Chains A and B, each alone.
Chain A
Amino acid sequence: MFKKSNNKIIKNRSGGKINLREVGIIIFLTIISIGIVMGYLWLFAGSFSGELVYGIVPKNFSLKNWRFLWENPFPENPDWPNIWPILFNTLYLGSGVTLIVVTVSTLGGYVISRMKFPGRSFLLASTLVLHAFPAITLLIALYYILKTLNLLDTITGVVLAKAGFFTPFGIWVMKGFFDGISWDMEMSALIDGATRFQAWHKVMLPIVKPGIAAISIFSFLMGWSEYIFVITFNRSYSSWTLTSYISAIVSDYRFSDYGLLAAVSLFYMIPVILFFIFTQKYLMEITLGGIKGGR
């Protein structure tokens, strides 16, 4: 009798059919998540409609807010920059950061995960300690360094600064992925006469592909979305990214044109939305990869 009744509970909890608690939890989660969903719905509603009722319900359909794609949205300001070079800058920033971070951290993460050398645990610890150095600490000196290197007010400067800032984290994450590979795998390659570099290149790299995918997507989005470095270092139109474009609208025309703001914001969100639909799994992995190491 004892066994029977408890078996029933186990069946219910592991999700045989929907029970009351599941429904309750879903309702609760829906209520606390509704605010977030509303924010993003507004981007859609506001950008495709001329007017909103109750703040969020679209009244009609209009492409007027998307006019920034084919004309200057601010006729009163003839100097206002065209969107396409700015889009190119933003893409360059995202891919530049990705290229550097992926290369540097697959090499570094492997060494820290697999090789024993003096200073290894110091290096590991310092990646965590570097986290204590906030972006603000670097910002003032980076401004000086970029100015000295003649890279101030360029996208390349932001790419380098962002990649450097991101490297310790990237290494930490890749270390986590390398840690997850069985030693036997590498041992057998080494016993078969492979050098350490061949073992890394031919055996390890193919296995950590999901890790590389994850870190690529993550660093692309980090570069693509960068805010502080861009608004601090890049002031002229030629080095603007979509972030500068939107912040300029916010500061110049603060409460005047929400429709335009919604449209540009949605435009800026496109890669984020695509990555969320198609590669969400990898984005989850990166957050986990960071702490996998030796837990």
Chain B
Amino acid sequence: MGRSAYLKIFLFLLPAILFTVIFFITPAVMTTIMGFTNMDYRFQWNFVGLYNYFKMLIDPLAPKIILTNFVYTFGTLLIFNVTFGLILAILTTSIREKNGIFFRTIWLLPRFTPPVVYGVIWLWILSPMKEGLLNSFLRYDYMPWISKFPWQVIIITNGIIGASMGMVIFASAIKSISKDYLWAARVDGATWLQEIGYIVLPMIRWPLAFITAYQTLSLLTSYEYILLITEGGPYFKSTVWSLYSYKVAFSSYAGTYEFGYGAALATILVIVGIIASIFYWRIFKFKEMMEEPKIEIV
């Protein structure tokens, strides 16, 4: 290919590159650099070396937050995003298509609901007062669900949204399995559960791997529903690492906007994210899905 061919490709890609560089790559690099400063609301670049990272090592909250983050990420991933998503996909594809779509639509609704509305709905369900849905049903006059069960609350509220992604992707993978395999199994007398165990599950292993990897990364770093519903509380009980970084940088609970320390906390998250990406990349062989174009004419 000649130079002009590359120029054309470059022109097609230019808007994408421009946007990604200005509003994605630059801020990503900038955060990493900010992690070595003690920048606050005055926005001064005072480089302090590894100060923020030493601060992290002795931060009394750090171990608790790591534990919460771990429980939250893998709890939600395994219970909801993978297992529950898979159950929903198998069940909604085992009934007639019209009924299956109906239930899948219900489960997709939370994902497309504005987060603040989803939060309001949960604040009403879990309200400590007697007007809340749970308390009305159980006839409690007062029961602070959120402060009593913070971990369960963040896992369930995020999981209900997380399950829908697995559901949609697994369901479409299941539907694309050639009917011949299923009929062959049925002729051989396989039960429904055997069909699932010996045909469906092995044939959707790629989407299973994809969802596991993709959702681990999403969950490692997602905090908006936690911020909305529990605000990381009570105290720091349901604060995950990303939310802690957000609080340090923006909520000024300590009186100042600690952008530098917040950025350093966020950098750790990126490092963990990259390690997890590489790990998944290797074990699930994602390279195989990047097939090269078959012909080339420019």
Contact = CB atoms under 8 A, between A and B. Distances in A.
B60 to A, nearest CB: 21
A120 B13 CA distance: 11
B82 interface: no
B131 A55 contact: yes
Given A33-B103, A42-B133, A138 B27 contact: yes
Contacts of B43: 144, 147
B212 interface: no
Given A39-B121, A105-B16, A107-B13, A9 B266 contact: no
Interface residues of B, number: 110
Interface size class of A (residues with CB under 8 A): 35 or more
Contact of B31 (A26, A124, A141, A197): A141
A181 interface: no
Contact of A134 (B1, B99, B222): B222
Given A55-B136, A221-B112, A291-B207, A145 B297 contact: no
B283 interface: no
Contact of B270 (A6, A103, A133): A133
Given A114-B293, A116-B296, A287-B169, A9 B186 contact: yes
Nearest to A123: B13
B108 A107 contact: no
Interface string B276-292: 11000100001111111
Contacts of B294: 183
A interface secondary structure, majority:
helix
B117 interface: yes
A1 interface: no
A26 B94 CA distance: 10
A29 B12 contact: no
B15 A107 contact: yes
26 contacts: A26-B95, A39-B125, A56-B136, A108-B12, A111-B13, A125-B290, A129-B277, A132-B276, A134-B269, A137-B31, A137-B266, A137-B270, A138-B23, A140-B34, A141-B26, A141-B27, A141-B28, A141-B29, A141-B31, A160-B22, A276-B108, A280-B105, A283-B112, A288-B168, A291-B210, A294-B290
Given A130-B20, A131-B273, 5 more contacts: A105-B16, A140-B27, A221-B112, A227-B116, A276-B105
